[in-house]
């Protein structure tokens, strides 16, 4: 409690004034350049202040690896034995003998250097591999928006944020639109926090870090909305940097780390018990010096000198071999978890499907093709400024094919209400010079909930229960064909509205549907079969609806007899969900929190769980799983949360990585077994 209070006071001390200053005062006081820094200014600041890296996250020096290897638990015992031998073999006898001491020191040095070189080399290799998936951020330099590595961000940079962005440093927001940030990495709270340009809090009203509503903290991520922020602190001077020791120390050890630690303690304990027993049994027959020397020799014989060497070299070589299989290992310990995985949870899109969404249909409320629906969807997708999804790209592509390139000149964007995972819709307000129009697209049920009228061939009428049922039926039939359906609606009488927010999304006019096809991968069915034969059960966790999910899963060979929805999960206890998990392989219409909950319960049931995802909503599950798997094309927060990165989004690539790891551990077992035989002999 006292530590929490200390951290809150730290946040107030660091940001209290910057948080409560209004935008103009902040820009004037800190001499903010709205066109961003010049390249020369940024280079000078980078040279003077250093890279934007937390001390604990910086690459280790060579001597860190060396001393870590030298003073491992087993080597520490051997060095202790050396000091005993100095007394028994050098100081006590009339003729000193250095043979045993030299042998043990030689073994210690050999073990140390082998482990040092392997671990140092493997971490260097891992560092190079990590650079292939280095996270970038968008900043304004020389008046233009460019992407740079997060480590090159400097104080004074103007950072552009959108849904999925990682916050690269501590920022003061100067422009924002419905910005919501996930701060769970700092506060542990799952709910997103709204950030804005002007603070609603007075300096004396700020009680904790969550009250700093104009400051975005390094290490957090954008859930929805867009914004611009000025970098006010970087690296160790950030709030994250100040409390990094507390955060990293609270990270739990993996099952693999716990197992190695347990074996090490057991062996050392066994040795410490065995030495006095052997000494007592031999002391009555021989003199004390001989008995003690023999006991020490026994200790040397049972100590697995090469265990750390075999382990580190096995894992590091495995990481390098896996990189050749298009699998980048960010954390060496995750290799063991990957091989021991018995359940793989995965999203549907891009993993089971081609992830090449094509707009197939644009239909009115009665299921007839209507280019007016495509026009409205195009305006929504083209003018939205958030993270453009595959759906947006497909809509824009089809719109351009249908001669809508001139819409950029005919229409002007007025405002936007960004997408979020609770509303599951996105609104854009555009103007043609005479009137404003709000166009909204999103999940069918969510759009129906805000519509009071329908438009059919230009005629607007009140929506009825029968019309709603017919719309749901059309949507369901399209889903059975494997099409993902998004509804489109609009609202015209908004000229008098100046500030648009979620409350404006009501009494809208339903226009129709757009249907997307994302066909299953040809390799998916074979990959599922291979995973099942390898003892890995595949569970699909998706935010998509049940009918589309059923269609795709049937085609790739996943049993879809029983599909559980997120709305059902919400009502069940943990015990009930665990029972469901024994016989259910598909969960649809899930929120990010529900996905993470299922992953957590699978782990608590004794499984080794892998999670494969690449979206913003996958971050909690990637963190909760035993091994988080993402791809190099994933959003920033997904790549940061993952333990393993695939260079190709294909289950066969993942399976190759699993097999490589199992081959790696088999070699480790053989080497260790032979090593034990040699030592015992």
- Domains of the chain, residue spans: 2-42+135-243, 62-132+251-312, 327-354+521-667, 358-517
pLDDT tens per residue across span 526-575: 888 888 888 889 999 987 778 878 888 888 888 888 889 888 888 889 99
Distance, CA of 318 to CA of 481 (rounded, Å): 43
Residue 31, class by beta-carbon neighbours within 10 Å (0-12 exposed, 13-18 middle, 19+ buried)?
A: exposed
The residue ranges of DSSP E strands in 259-307, in sequence order, are: none
pLDDT bin (cut points 50, 70, 90) of residue 3 is very low
Distance, CA of 526 to CA of 514 (rounded, Å): 31
pLDDT tens per residue across span 437-487: 999 999 898 999 999 999 998 889 999 888 899 889 988 888 888 888 899
Is 213 an annotated catalytic residue?
no
Task: Let me know: does 585 contact 539? Beta carbons within 8 Å.
Answer: yes
Question: Which H/E stretch holds residue 563?
Answer: strand 563-565
Q: Which of 4-13, 139-148, 300-309, 571-580 has the lowest mean pLDDT?
A: 4-13
Distance, CA of 289 to CA of 296 (rounded, Å): 11
Average pLDDT score over the chain: 78
Q: Which of 211, 347, 370, 455 is catalytic?
A: 347
Residue 540 backbone dihedrals phi, psi, to 5 degrees: -95, 125
pLDDT tens per residue across span 331-384: 666 777 777 788 999 887 767 777 677 888 899 988 898 999 999 999 999 998
Class of domain 327-354+521-667: alpha beta
**With 80 as the cut, is the pLDDT of residue 406 above it?**
yes
Tokens, residue 426: 């996105």
Residue 30, class by beta-carbon neighbours within 10 Å (0-12 exposed, 13-18 middle, 19+ buried)?
A: middle
Q: Please give the pLDDT value at position 396.
A: 92
Tokens, residue 599: 């992953």
Q: Structure pTM?
A: 0.58
* Residue length of the chain: 681
Q: Please give the pLDDT value at position 253.
A: 55
Pick the CATH number of 2-42+135-243 from 1.10.760.10, 3.10.310.10, 3.40.50.300, 2.70.150.10: 2.70.150.10
Q: Percentage of the chain with pLDDT > 70?
A: 74
Residue with tokens 């870090």: 209
Cβ neighbours of 304 (radius 10 Å): 16
pLDDT tens per residue across span 159-209: 998 877 888 899 999 988 778 887 765 665 556 778 888 877 666 666 666
Q: Please give the pLDDT value at position 222.
A: 84
CATH superfamily of 358-517: Calcium-transporting ATPase, cytoplasmic domain N (3.40.1110.10)
Tokens, residue 546: 């049940």
């Amino acid at each position: 409690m006292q530590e929490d209070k200390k951290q809150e006071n730290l946040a107030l001390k660091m940001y209290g004034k910057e948080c409560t200053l209004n935008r103009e005062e902040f820009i004037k006081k800190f001499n903010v350049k709205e066109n961003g820094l010049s390249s020369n200014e940024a280079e000078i600041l980078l040279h003077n202040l250093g890279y934007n890296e937390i001390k604990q996250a910086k690459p280790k020096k060579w001597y860190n690896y060396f001393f870590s290897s030298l003073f491992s638990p087993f080597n520490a015992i051997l060095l202790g034995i050396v000091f005993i031998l100095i007394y028994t073999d050098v100081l006590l006898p009339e003729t000193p003998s250095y043979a045993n001491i030299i042998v043990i020191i030689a073994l210690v040095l050999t073990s140390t250097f082998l482990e040092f070189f392997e671990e140092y080399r493997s971490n260097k290799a891992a560092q190079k591999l990590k650079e292939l998936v280095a996270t970038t951020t968008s900043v304004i330099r020389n008046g233009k928006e460019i992407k740079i590595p997060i480590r090159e961000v400097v104080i004074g940079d103007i950072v552009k944020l959108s849904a999925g962005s990682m916050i690269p440093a501590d920022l003061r927001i100067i422009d924002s639109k419905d910005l919501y940030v996930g701060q769970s990495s700092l506060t542990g709270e799952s709910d997103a926090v709204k950030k804005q340009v002007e603070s609603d809090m007075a300096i004396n009203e700020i009680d904790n870090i969550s009250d700093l509503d104009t400051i975005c903290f390094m290490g957090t991520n954008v859930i929805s909305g867009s914004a611009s922020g000025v970098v006010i602190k970087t690296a160790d001077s950030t709030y994250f940097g100040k409390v990094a020791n507390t955060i990293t120390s609270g990270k739990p050890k993996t099952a693999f780390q716990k197992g190695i630690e347990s074996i090490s303690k057991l062996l050392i304990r066994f040795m410490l018990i065995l030495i006095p027993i052997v000494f007592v049994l031999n002391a009555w027959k021989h003199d004390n010096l001989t008995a003690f020397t023999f006991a020490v020799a026994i200790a040397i014989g049972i100590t697995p000198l090469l265990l750390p060497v075999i382990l580190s070299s096995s894992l590091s070589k495995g990481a390098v071999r896996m990189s050749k299989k298009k699998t980048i290992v960010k954390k060496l310990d995750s290799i063991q978890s990957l091989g021991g995985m018995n359940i793989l949870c995965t999203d549907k899109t891009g993993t089971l499907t081609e992830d090449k969404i094509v707009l197939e249909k644009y239909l009115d409320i009665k299921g007839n093709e209507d280019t007016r629906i495509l026009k409205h969807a195009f305006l929504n997708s083209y003018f939205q400024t958030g993270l453009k999804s595959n759906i947006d790209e497909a809509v824009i592509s089809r719109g351009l094919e249908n001669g809508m390139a001139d819409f950029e000149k005919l229409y002007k964007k007025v405002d936007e209400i960004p997408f979020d995972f609770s509303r599951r819709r996105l609104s854009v307000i555009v103007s043609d010079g005479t009137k404003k129009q709000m166009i909204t697209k999103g999940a069918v049920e969510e759009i129906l909930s805000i519509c009071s009228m329908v438009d059919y061939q230009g005629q607007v009428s009140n929506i009825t229960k029968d019309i709603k049922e017919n719309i749901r039926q059309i949507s369901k039939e399209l889903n059975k064909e494997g099409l993902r359906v998004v509804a489109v609606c609009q609202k015209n009488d908004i000229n008098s509205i100046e500030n648009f927010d979620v409350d404006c999304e009501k009494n809208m006019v339903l226009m129709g549907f757009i249907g997307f096809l994302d066909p299953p991968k040809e390799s998916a069915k074979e990959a599922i079969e291979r995973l099942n034969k390898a003892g890995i059960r595949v569970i699909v966790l998706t935010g998509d609806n049940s009918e589309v999910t059923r269609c795709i899963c049937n085609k790739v060979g996943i049993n879809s007899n029983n599909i559980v929805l997120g709305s059902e999960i919400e009502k069940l206890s943990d015990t009930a969900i665990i029972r469901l998990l024994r016989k259910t392989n598909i969960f649809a219409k899930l929120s990010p929190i529900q996905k993470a909950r299922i992953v957590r319960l699978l782990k608590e049931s004794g499984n080794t769980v892998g999670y494969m995802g690449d979206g913003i909503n996958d971050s909690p599950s990637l963190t909760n799983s035993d091994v988080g798997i993402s791809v190099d094309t994933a959003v920033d927060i997904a790549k940061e949360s993952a333990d393993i990165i695939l260079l190709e989004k294909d289950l066969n690539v993942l399976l190759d990585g699993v097999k490589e790891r199992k081959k790696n551990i088999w070699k480790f077992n053989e080497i260790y077994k032979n090593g034990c035989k040699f030592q015992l002999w």
